[in-house]
């Protein structure tokens, strides 16, 4: 935790990178001042193996799964993987969990269950699982991907916090109230472009995969959107409500609003930057520094 209380993470699109590219990304993220690297689980790389790859080539930055799919491996295997990473690399790993969605799980051969039922059973088995090796005597922090109030309440009761993704500013305040003392992690695509047309086009491209998913539709309707807002790539107002874009001052203001609404950790997906070389990370560092400076000034 920084002096200002806010921490910053970055999503690592590991499926699109070589192993060497992942290691370079990790080193550059650490040098840019980020506090954490998060690894998704889609249909490609195993997130725990990727976490090990990153932990091996970094010194201080934390690494986490965002999210590891609870349908893919059982609770004991998940706990064993988490504590094996801590044993090998020290207390720098966080476990992010979620149910994904039927589109991703049914083709794997899994029967879809109500999310709260599935996760309650998973966490019960995780807590009860004994590890038959000399596991470190630490508690691996765990976070839950949650859209609705029932999952957010479960996150507050059984997890150290929760993730939200592609939700409105107002929902951050609602989520934090439901979560209680847990840390609210905001997954935030962030467009480092000032031209409105180019910025929104890049934002639409980044979230295209999520627009057909019914679980997101339900969440967006609960936020007050109608179907016409998120069909055909999303209206400008829809995009602007979910994804900040602009110069460093614009992005700083957007991030500060999220912090004011209860967000404790911002996980950015930087868009519009060339992150395959060091200079491309400079705007990320500038944004982090600006937000931290603002938060520190506000607390004086």
What's this model's pTM, rounded to 2 decimal places?
A: 0.94
Would you say residue 190 lies in a domain? Answer: yes
Torsion of CA 179, 160, 93, 115, to 10 degrees: -70
- Where in the sequence is the domain holding 15, given as residue range(s)? 7-299
Would you say residue 2 lies in a domain? Answer: no
- Each residue's pLDDT tens digit, 166-195: 999 999 999 999 999 999 999 999 999 999
CATH number where 283 lies = 3.20.20.30
In the predicted model, what is the mean pLDDT of residues 262-291? 96
Would you say residue 270 lies in a domain? Answer: yes
pLDDT, residue 102, reads: 65
Q: Above pLDDT 70, what percent of the chain?
A: 95
pLDDT at 299 over 70: no
φ/ψ of residue 266, rounded to 5: -105, 120
Would you say residue 282 lies in a domain? Answer: yes
Would you say residue 1 lies in a domain? Answer: no
Would you say residue 285 lies in a domain? Answer: yes
Q: Above pLDDT 90, what percent of the chain?
A: 85
Would you say residue 64 lies in a domain? Answer: yes
């Amino acid at each position: 935790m920084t002096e200002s209380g806010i921490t910053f993470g970055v999503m690592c699109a590991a499926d699109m990178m070589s192993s060497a590219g992942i290691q370079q990304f990790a080193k550059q993220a650490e040098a840019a001042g980020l506090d954490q690297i998060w690894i998704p689980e889609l249909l490609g790389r195993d997130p725990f193996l990727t976490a090990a790859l990153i932990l091996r080539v970094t010194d201080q930055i934390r690494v986490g799964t965002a999210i590891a799919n609870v349908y893919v491996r059982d609770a004991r295997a998940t706990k064993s993987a988490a504590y094996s990473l801590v044993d090998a690399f020290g207390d720098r790993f966080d476990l992010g969990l979620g149910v994904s969605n039927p589109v991703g799980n049914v083709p794997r051969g899994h029967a879809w269950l109500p999310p709260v039922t599935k996760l309650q059973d998973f966490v019960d088995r995780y807590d009860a699982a004994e590890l038959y090796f000399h596991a470190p005597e630490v508690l691996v922090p765990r976070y839950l991907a949650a859209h609705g109030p029932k999952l957010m309440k479960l996150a507050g009761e059984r997890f150290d916090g929760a993730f939200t993704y592609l939700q409105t500013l107002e929902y951050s305040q609602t989520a934090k109230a439901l979560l209680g003392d847990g840390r609210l992690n905001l997954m935030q695509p962030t467009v480092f472009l000032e031209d409105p047309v180019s910025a929104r086009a890049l934002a639409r491209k980044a979230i295209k995969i999520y627009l057909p998913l019914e679980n997101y539709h339900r969440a967006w309707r609960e936020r007050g959107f109608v179907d016409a807002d998120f069909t055909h790539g999303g209206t400008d107002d829809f995009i602007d409500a979910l994804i900040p874009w602009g110069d460093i001052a614009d992005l700083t203001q957007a991030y500060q609003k999220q912090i004011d609404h209860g967000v404790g950790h911002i996980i950015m997906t930087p868009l519009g930057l060339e992150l395959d070389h060091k200079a491309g990370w400079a705007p990320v560092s500038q944004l982090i520094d600006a937000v931290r400076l603002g938060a520190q000034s506000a607390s004086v």
